[in-house]
Structure 1
Amino acid sequence: MVPHLITALTGPINELEQRVLDSMPAIERWFRLEWMEHTPPFYSSVDVRNAGFKLAPVDTNLFPSGWNNLTPEMLPLGVQAAMAAIEKICPEARNLLVIPENGQPSSFYLANLAQLKRLFNMAGLNVKLGSIDPALKKTTTFELQNGESVTLEPVIRGKRRLGLKDFDPCTILLNNDLSTGVPGILEDIHEQYLLPPLHAAWPTRRKSMHFKCYEEVSKRLGKLLGVDPWLIYPLSDRCENVNLDDEKGLDRLQAQVDIVLTRVKRKYKEYGIKEKPFVVVKADHATHELGIVTVRDAKDMQDLKERIQTLSSGRKTPVPAFDFLVQEGVLTQERVNDAVAEPVIYMMDRYVVGGFYRIHAGRGADENLNAPGSSYVPLAFEHSTQLPQPGIKPGVSLPNRFYMYGVVGRLAMLAASYELEATDPDAQDYE
């Protein structure tokens, strides 16, 4: 079933779609050459926003959950990609251990684990779920609403290997972004493949580094397409070590917001865009209790200061200094059943395997949709993102639009591969 999609059918986004379709052979060759030099993340998901005049990623997740939102029609793509990924890393792989998030799992997250297990099972692996949560003391089975069950077992750490009772995996897949830190149980594993690597997790990873790498690859693809890379890139800057309890820290953050907002305004003026520009302030790694803040003008900045004061009041300890990413806000002009929507693209190895729309009836076109109250509608990938329809007028073919989403998703995935190379401690030690 194809969801009722209302998307911007005029303006630069159609011109961009036409350029992408006309350049399809060159784009695919460019990606092939890049993957000869760089290793894609094992799996990833990318939040994409279509503003009607530009199409850009706003978040790239290297430990994606939500696999349960992919339709059964998308599963063959995922299985083939899983086979390719495993074959590349460990052709003799037999047993795969998936390590989920800590804490009491929601029914949604359990369905995600069931889908991951199914996917790798069909790729030819024995799959078990092993928890590193100290609170899980014994094997626990959870029943799902559809009649399936998910069993979590406590992980056992040997001298050099990680496993379960009577289960010795050669490959370990993290579905846990380790935002609270890397536990010792995962360190110094030398005899097994750990995917993604530990430096892909939030104790090391920085969004600013990712978008710096994304800027680099978007400039190169923009040159190939003959378009302004801003049409596929959100302007971004980092504001380091901001002490929210200190007026000077707030002033530095406001100055950074003003700089990025001025750059966005200049671009809007260049393209004759009448929408109101805005920026988004968010944690540079993982999340921050402040959340994601949208700033359009001085009034929003004052609201931000009031939120910080509320956050600080009543605390026994001061709010710790933090690094923030100040990023151009990208509107979404897409709607599904009258609700604001954004596509989320799922990839494994170097392949797009599916996706869905994240929708939120209570949010505006300039707000974060990844919030309580959001829901999900599968993308219509029955023709796959690799089967566009050249010759059809831009803006009227869903496969063509989805192909363009897939190009931007893969571009973010390529940026992630650059990012992981730049932060690889082993490579740095070698140098």
Structure 2
Amino acid sequence: MVPRLTTALDGPLLEIERRFLDAMPEIECWMRSQWQEHSPPFYGSVDLRNAGFKLAPVDMNLFPGGFNNLDASFRPLCVQAAMSAIDKICPDARRLLLIPENHTRNTFYLQNVAQIAAILRLTGLEVRLGSLLPGLEQATPVELPDGSSLLLEPLVRRGQRLGLADFEPCAILLNNDLSSGIPDVLRGLGEQVILPPLHAGWATRRKSNHFAAYDDVANDFARLVGIDPWRINPYFSVCDGVDFHDRRGEECLAANVAGVLELIRDKYRQYDIDETPYVVVKADAGTYGMGVMTVRNASQIVGLSRRQRNKMSVIKEGMTVSQVIIQEGVHTYEQVGSGEQEGVAEPVVYMIDRFVVGGFYRVHNQRGKDENLNAPGMHFEPLAFETSCCLPDHCQNPDAAPNRFYVYGVVARLAQLAASLELERTRPAEEPPPCV
């Protein structure tokens, strides 16, 4: 069953969708030209928020962990896109080493790993799993809920190559975001391709770098289709030197919150939008929805409780937060379900290489339209995208499912393009550029 989706305030968004549909030939031509100049990340997922008057990405993950939430009908798209990515990077590849997160009890995540491995095997690759788990000395099977299992094996370093005891891979695919740092075993692998590159991990990556690149992409795209770039782009600013425990950096944070809120108010006045502006303060590095706070007034920053400060001060792997991004909050007017099961929803779009390969809705029935949905209590609706994100239908209304999902796919591809620019701009000098 496809969940019911309702979108309020759809007038302005209908206009955006109409612009996208009318400009489809120009959009696809422009996209092709961009991918001739830039190399996309191997894969990625984008969290979108649909406010009716605005549709924008709010997060970009370069180590996606939800392939198990995609409907099975998307599998052919995934395999075809993975083939394209591998052909460009290592056309003679026969063996690939997949390195997952150090989760042995999170069966939801492990099912994602199983899906990635299955997709890659369907491209003709031999795929095995090497683990960064401390103390792992022998191959260890991990049972999955569906009765299958994964085999985690200890990594073996030989000079500038990494593999397993009896396995020499052509390439290495990370599904580990390196939040706790880049382990020595992954450094200096000059003879193997690592995907995504090491500097894509949260040990060095910053969300603010991504959204700075997205600013450039959104501005160019907005000129192409004739819209205000704000319609697809959230305002943001950055504060560093923050210490939530010691209340250091509160003045900087409050000032930046106030500044972004005022920019949003100006746009709301310009477009006669009757909503309360808000911002989302979140760690500039990190994932899993940790270190995230919704703020509607700058005064809230100065009066944070001890509990709030503790929540904001530490993210995944116990890493301390010292830099935050203040991002314009984008309301979500999408809802899935009915009655007591009805919940606020946001689309998550998955990509491999430059191709949209599917999507689903993140749903939370205890959160509001202006709150973070990536929080305990959320669930996923894997059947929500009843059509792919790349097949618009000009014979239907702009808000028909194929057209709404096409618009999702376009904005997601803009975020993927921004990620490629981000990785180019932040690439260490000693690291070779990727193949285009």
TM-score range, shorter chain: over 0.9
Answer yes or no: is the 8 Å Cα contact 1:170–1:193 preserved in 2. yes
**What are the within-5 Å matches in structure 2 for residues 57-206 of structure 1?**
57-206=57-206
1:377 is aligned to 2:381: yes
Gaps (5+ residues) in structure 1? 314-318
- Gap change, CA 1:87 and 1:256, over 3 Å in 2: same
- 1:349 equivalent to 2:353? Answer yes
Q: Which 10-residue stretch deviates more, 347-356 or 379-388?
A: 379-388
Distance 1:145 1:306 in 2: 39
AA in 1 matched with 2:409: G
**In 1, Cα distance between the equivalents of 2:394 and 2:428?**
44
Q: 1:412 to 1:171 in 2, by over 3 A?
A: same
Displacement of 1:72 in angstroms is 1.1
Residues 214 and 180 of structure 1, relative CA distance in 2, 3 Å threshold: same
User: For residue 316 of structure 1, what is the aligned residue in structure 2?
Assistant: none
TM-score of the superposition, structure 2-length normalised? 0.93
Residue number in structure 2 paired with 1:46 = 46
Distance change >3 Å, CA 374–CA 290, structure 1 → 2: closer
| Match in the other structure for 1:8 | 8
1:408-429 CA deviation, whole Å, 9 max, x = no partner?
0000000000000001113789
Displacement after TM superposition at 1:306 (Å): 4.5
Q: Does 1:415 align with 2:415?
A: no
TM-score, normalising length: structure 1: 0.94
CA deviation after TM superposition for structure 1 residue 251, in Å: 1.1
Write the deviation string for residues 243-271 of structure 1: whole angstroms up to 9, x where unpaired: 33455611111011101111111111111
Contact 1:360 1:369 in 2 (8 A): yes
8 Å CA contact 2:289–2:375 kept in 1: the answer is no
CA distance in 2, matches of 1:75, 1:103: 24
SS of 2:358's partner is strand
Give the deviation of 1:349 after TM superposition: 0.4
User: Contact (CA 8 Å) 1:360, 1:375: kept in 2 or not?
Assistant: yes
SS in 1 for 2:178: coil
SS class of match (1:166): coil
Cα distance, 1:311–1:18 mapped onto 2, change above 3 Å: closer
Q: In the alignment, is the contact (CA less than 8 A) between 1:281 and 1:294 conserved in 2?
A: yes
Question: What per-residue deviation string (whole Å, max 9, x for no partner) do you get for residues 59-79 of structure 1?
Answer: 000011111111110000000
Between 1:292-301 and 1:85-94, the stretch displaced more is 292-301
Report the CA distance between 1:10 and its aligned residue: 2.6
Q: Is the 2:103–2:109 Cα contact (8 Å) retained in structure 1?
A: no
Name the structure 2 match of 1:292: 292
Question: Distance in 2 between the 1:91 and 1:426 partners?
Answer: 25
Question: Counterparts of 2:101 and 2:157 in 1: how far apart (Å)?
Answer: 18
Give 1:305 shift. 5.1
Equivalent residues of 1:294, 1:300 under 8 A apart: no
- RMSD over aligned CA atoms reads 2.1
Identity of aligned residues (%): 54
C-alpha deviation, 1:180, in angstroms: 0.3
For 2:316, the equivalent position in structure 1 comes to: none
Contact 1:281 1:327 in 2 (8 A): yes
2:56 is matched with 56
- 1:20 has 2:20 as partner: yes
Gaps of 5+ in 2: 314-318
Deviations 1:278-305 (A, max 9, x none): 0010011115997201001256335535
CA separation of 1:30 and 1:242: change in aligned 2, threshold 3 A: same
The CA deviation at 1:103 is 4.0
Matched residues, number = 424
Q: Is 1:327–2:333 an aligned residue pair?
A: no
Residue 205 of structure 1 aligns with an amino acid whose one-letter code is: R
Picking from 397, 401, 407, the partner of 1:398 is: 401
2:288–2:374: 8 Å Cα contact kept in structure 1?
Answer: no
Q: Equivalents in 2 of 1:214, 1:298: separation in Å? A: 26
Counterpart of 2:406 in structure 1: which amino acid?
Answer: Y
- The separation in 2 between residues aligned to 1:320 and 1:63, in whole angstroms, is 21
Deviation at 1:321, TM superposition (A): 6.7
Label 1:275 to 1:323 Cα distance change in 2 as closer, same or farther (>3 A).
Answer: same
* Deviations 1:91-141 (CA, angstroms, capped at 9, x unpaired): 100001100002434110111111011100001100111101213222111
> Quick one: distance in 1 between partners of 2:354 and 2:379?
27
